Amino acid sequence: MKHLGADTFEVLAEAVTSEVTVAAILERAGELTMLHACGVADAEGAVIALVAKSGTGKTTASSQLAQTFGYITDETVAIRADGTIEPYPKPLSVKQTTTGAAKLQVGPDELGLKVAPESPRITSIALLDRVTGGEYQLPVIEPVPLVDAVLALIPDTSSQAAVFQPLQSLCRLIDSVGGVLRVSYSEAADLTDSLAPLFLAQPYDRPEVITAWAPALLESEAEQADHQAGEKKEEPIPGGWLQRTDAVDAVEIGGDLLVLTETEVIRLSGIGPIIWQTAQRPVSLQTLAARIEAVHGLPEGYEVLLDAAVEGLVGQGLLLRG
């Protein structure tokens, strides 16, 4: 049992809220996709998840929108594989005007927020982009390409690496809501009317790239079974040859390949995806060149380009050299 102490009630309340949130996230790690987002629902249970980093207007948007729509959360939108949502209507963490002061924990009822309907389900995912300074901007909503959407969402998810096929499952979630949108705005008061269409299923045309992704081959089914049983045999890498390192997950999106390692998502383009895919087992530079030639052709002086690409992948920890 963890004991918390603080000099003031406000500091203690903020610490308790944080501890409860972390405990809830850890408890459901691997079961749910958890977006660092505020969530609001319409009367039918359709939910918009507005993803944003701490301190960028997420709580303000929650408190404004949930006076009209049902309050799901101002912290973590937890989504099951079937698209239904586990509400987390925690007290809102409201900044005080005093610099460095603990955030006030204010209950939804105190702010007049509406209760969310039963059985909420995800309908839209949007990246909140509050524009500060410069000219006043009414909300502008635009689609985000799938590669950019995945790269934007991964840092704002909790325990996504513990989900089965974390990148692929995130892509499936994005596809199920018709793609990720970006909402650029100046004031949260303008969001209510602008976001209302997002409660409708797939309110915008899907960018073509949304349907273009396909899972990258990691291992055969037999290799996966051996790996899980601890029986996978490591092949020695001959001198000068290359082999890719293990990845948590990978997806192809158009001409790009996203590879999730234990620590980060790495985006490969150009000849990078072919090198990584070909190096599932130890491979020579000559074999890599032949594979690249079959797909892209080889320009004059390709050796320098190939060496640079390989060095880059080795430096990122995606390739091992024998």
Last residue of a domain, one of 211, 236, 265: 211
**Contact in structure between 49 and 174 (CB atoms under 8 Å):** no
Residue type, 187: E
User: 180-185 and 121-130 as β-strands: parallel, antiparallel, unpaired?
Assistant: parallel
User: Same structural domain for residues 204 and 284?
Assistant: no
Cα 268 to Cα 259: distance, rounded to the nearest angstrom: 8
β-pair partners for 114: 70
Separation of alpha carbons 11 and 29, rounded Å: 27
Q: What is the pTM of this model?
A: 0.84
- 8-state DSSP, 189: G
Q: How far is CA 187 from CA 12, 16, 71, 129, 130, in A?
A: 31, 30, 19, 11, 8
User: Around 101, how many Cα atoms within 13 Å sit in the side-chain half-sphere?
Assistant: 12
List per-residue pLDDT tens for the chain, 322 residues long.
566 666 676 766 666 677 777 777 777 778 899 999 999 999 999 999 999 887 778 888 999 999 999 999 998 999 999 999 999 898 888 887 777 778 888 889 999 999 999 999 999 999 999 888 878 889 999 999 989 999 999 988 888 888 888 998 999 899 899 899 999 999 999 999 999 989 986 544 544 443 333 344 444 445 555 545 555 556 788 988 999 998 888 888 888 899 998 889 999 999 999 999 899 899 999 999 999 999 888 888 888 999 999 999 999 999 999 8
Q: Name the nearest CA neighbour of 177 among 64, 293, 79, 71.
A: 79
What's the domain range around 143? 9-211
Q: Which tokens is 113 given?
A: 């927020």
What are the CA-CA distances from residue 236 to residues 9, 136, 155, 286 (Å)? 60, 61, 35, 18
**Do residue 236 and residue 147 come from a single domain?**
no
Question: CB-based burial of residue 240 (10 Å sphere; 0-12 exposed, 13-18 middle, 19+ buried)?
Answer: exposed
Same domain, 253 and 276: yes
Residues 303 and 286 in one domain: yes
Neighbours of 217 (CB within 10 A): 10
Question: How close are the terminal C-alpha atoms of the chain, in Å?
Answer: 49
State both tokens at 96.
């005080």
Are residues 15 and 159 located together in one domain of the fold?
A: yes
Question: Is there a single domain that holds both residue 73 and residue 163?
Answer: yes
Same domain, 241 and 195: no
Q: Are the C-beta atoms of residues 288 and 242 closer than 8 Å to each other?
A: yes
Q: CA 164 to CA 80: how far, in whole Å?
A: 12
Neighbours of 220 (CB within 10 A): 10
In a domain, 4, yes or no: no
* CA distances for 115 relative to 25, 42, 70, 73, 91, angstroms: 22, 10, 5, 11, 13
Same domain, 159 and 284: no
Last residue of some domain: 168, 196, 211? 211
User: Distance between CA 39 and CA 10 in Å, rounded?
Assistant: 25
Q: For the chain, what is the domain count?
A: 2
Asked whether residue 43 falls in the same domain as residue 186, the answer is: yes
208 Cβ contact partners less than 8 Å away, ≥ 6 residues apart: none
CATH number at residue 271: 3.90.930.60
Same-domain pairing of 207 and 220: no
Residues 19 and 167 in one domain: yes
